[in-house]
């Protein structure tokens, strides 16, 4: 099985979004870049920089594997959906 950092954002977030999701339409582009292009509240409030997907994929977290799992289990929705 691949590392969680290689998973698409919708798997990390447990997203049950539709095929309308911009990240699913462009799976090779990081979701935070897609959100930045949308130029909405996510960009204005730096939502992506605080997101577990961003931290996991950029290696910019000091969280343990256990802490990451706990956060992932508590996520309720995808920000792009």
| Choice between 44 and 34, residue whose per-residue pLDDT is larger | 34
User: Does the pLDDT of residue 48 top 80, yes or no?
Assistant: yes
> Is 76's pLDDT higher than 60?
no
The answer to whether 5 touches 59, Cβ cutoff 8 Å, is yes
- Length of the chain equals 81
pLDDT band at 1 (very low <50, low <70, confident <90, very high): very low
DSSP 29: S
- How far apart are alpha carbons 18 and 36 in whole angstroms? 20
Which pLDDT belongs to residue 38?
A: 83
Q: HSE on the CB side for 77, CA within 13 Å?
A: 5
Number of domains in the chain: 1
CA 81/CA 65 separation, integer angstroms: 26
Q: Is residue 69 part of a domain?
A: yes
Instruction: Print the domain residue range for 22.
Output: 4-74
What confidence tens digit (pLDDT) does each residue in 3-30 have?
Answer: 667 888 888 887 877 778 888 999 899 9
Specify if 81 maps to a domain.
no
């Amino acid at each position: 099985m691949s590392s969680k950092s290689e998973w698409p954002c919708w798997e990390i977030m447990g997203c049950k979004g539709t095929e309308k999701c911009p990240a699913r339409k462009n799976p090779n582009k990081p979701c935070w870049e897609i959100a930045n292009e949308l130029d909405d509240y996510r960009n204005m409030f730096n939502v992506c920089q605080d997101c577990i997907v961003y931290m996991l994929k950029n290696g910019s977290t000091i969280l343990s594997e256990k802490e990451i799992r706990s956060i992932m289990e508590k996520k309720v929705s995808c920000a792009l959906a």
